[in-house]
Amino acid sequence: MTTLENFYFGNITPSEYKQSKSTKKKLSEMTKLLDELRSTLTNEQQKEELEQMENCQLSLIALSEKDAYIDGFKLGIRMATEIYADTQQRE
């Protein structure tokens, strides 16, 4: 099956990827630090503000990943187009 066929049938999901060991380690570290911070907060307003900040951060990360994916895809297409044009000129 070709890459395009795999993509069409949902066998390729660009928004899902495997995290590297270093990413998993940093995520674990951040979770631990957030849990420690959360345990030191004394009132509900502080805990709610921390949760809002976490939600905002997660949204920002998702938007950044989407933008990076789109930019990378566009760059790949520009490179392929340039290679194709160069090949056509040489023939």
10's torsion region: left (phi>0), alpha (psi -120 to 50) or beta?
left
**Is pTM, for the whole model, over 0.85?**
no
Nearest by Cα to 50 from 63, 61, 60, 40: 40
Could you give the CA distance from residue 72 to residue 66 in angstroms, rounded to a whole number? 10
φ and ψ at 14, to 5 degrees?
Answer: -60, -25
Write the single-letter amino acid at 87. T
pLDDT tens string 42-86: 999 999 999 999 999 999 999 998 999 899 999 999 999 999 988
